[in-house]
Structure 1
């Protein structure tokens, strides 16, 4: 039988990376990039669904696609700048 000290816990990600301040930030930024990427793939379906639910007029579907895409593009850029700034700080040896 295993004692309580030998039991394993299921955790998200590698524990030593998530305890590190930089590791957690990189994980969150990369997760954000993945979410934005998936939303960018589906933004036309999101706009179509908004028309079907009556949230926007049928003639506004293309404009909604462009708007959603533009907002997601800005989010993608902000996340990319965040990763670059973080990696630059780590490379220089600075703190968070």
Structure 2
């Protein structure tokens, strides 16, 4: 955790955020306790917790979203297009 030069806004390391969120999710500590201890707003801790819980299924191979699947298919089409062009050039040289 560090403070910006202006002293107004603190920037928290990802490891710090994770440590607090794990304590909240596991029930080791309450959100209110951690908020008081670290002088962080409840709403910020709640946002970190919600972000963590939203992204957690991706860690275990959850199905990609529609947008992710579309990007994956576009990459595959691009790869196949390049392979086709290479094969066309190679066949022209053989003839």
On whether the aligned pair clears a TM of 0.5, the verdict is no
Would you tell me which structure has more strand in proportion to its own residues? 2
Rg comparison, structure with higher value: 2
Bucket of the pairwise TM-score, normalised by the shorter protein: 0.3 to 0.5
Higher relative contact order (CA 8 A, sep 6+): 1
